[in-house]
């Protein structure tokens, strides 16, 4: 088994059968499996929600550490990806509130902004900015992003703590907005 000791992997493990927090091997393997299956999805979600690659990476690491703590006390959740996304969403919102209290006293979409974005960050954000410009409502953007990651309406509803019907209506509004914005571009390409 490969131990995730590189900088690309946020979880650092000891090789003696327990991880750095004393978790057993089964939990460690479960975390590794979840990380490899869902880290990219969580990172994309976090980058789109925060506009900061550095913050997004920290947030994903924090969520996996929280999951490790949970697993020491409880059985795994029925849908780990939903649990991870809810925890990530909560973490991002909490950090946004903390920052806003310190700086301006108002809520914003971006908890932490990179002072000088790297080329990698700019490339990741260019696509996200196009979507954000077309989907002004934060709920529409969040539903759209979660759906684009392959989550079902039921899973999105659990992540966002809204009804399945609200997910459907929100996605329908988002799609109408995108169609409206893209229609003039399609006509110009003909």
Report the sign of the C-alpha dihedral through residues 179, 185, 189, 190, in that order.
positive
pLDDT, one tens digit per residue, over 172-183 is: 988 888 777 666
pLDDT, one tens digit per residue, over 61-113 is: 999 999 999 988 888 899 999 999 999 999 998 988 887 777 764 444 444 44
- Percent of the chain predicted with pLDDT > 90: 33
The domain ranges of the chain are 1-118, 135-190
Which residue in the block uniquely carries the two structure tokens 């490969």?
2
Residue 161: predicted pLDDT: 94
Pick the CATH number of 135-190 from 3.40.50, 2.60.40, 1.10.10, 3.10.310: 1.10.10
Which residue in the block uniquely carries the two structure tokens 């131990």?
3
186 C-beta neighbours (distance < 10 Å), count:
9
DSSP 74-121: SPPPSSHHHHHHHHHHHHHHHHHHHHHHHHTSS--S-S---SS--HHH
């Amino acid at each position: 088994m490969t131990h995730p000791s590189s900088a690309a992997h946020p979880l650092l493990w000891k090789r003696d059968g327990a991880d750095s927090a004393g978790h057993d091997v089964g939990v460690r393997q479960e975390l590794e499996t979840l990380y490899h299956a869902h880290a990219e999805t969580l990172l994309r979600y976090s980058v789109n929600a925060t506009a900061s690659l550095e913050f997004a990476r920290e947030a994903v690491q924090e969520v996996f550490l929280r999951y490790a703590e949970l697993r020491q006390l409880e059985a795994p959740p029925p849908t780990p990806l939903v649990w991870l996304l809810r925890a990530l969403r909560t973490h991002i919102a909490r950090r946004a509130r903390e920052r806003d209290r310190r700086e301006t006293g108002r809520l914003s979409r971006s908890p932490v902004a990179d002072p000088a974005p790297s080329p990698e960050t700019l490339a990741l954000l260019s696509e996200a900015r196009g979507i954000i410009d077309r989907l002004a409502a934060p709920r529409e953007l969040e539903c759209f992003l979660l759906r684009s990651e392959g989550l079902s309406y039921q899973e999105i509803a659990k992540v966002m703590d809204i009804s399945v019907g609200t997910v459907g209506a929100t996605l329908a509004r988002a799609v109408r907005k995108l169609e409206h914005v893209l229609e003039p571009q399609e006509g110009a390409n003909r």
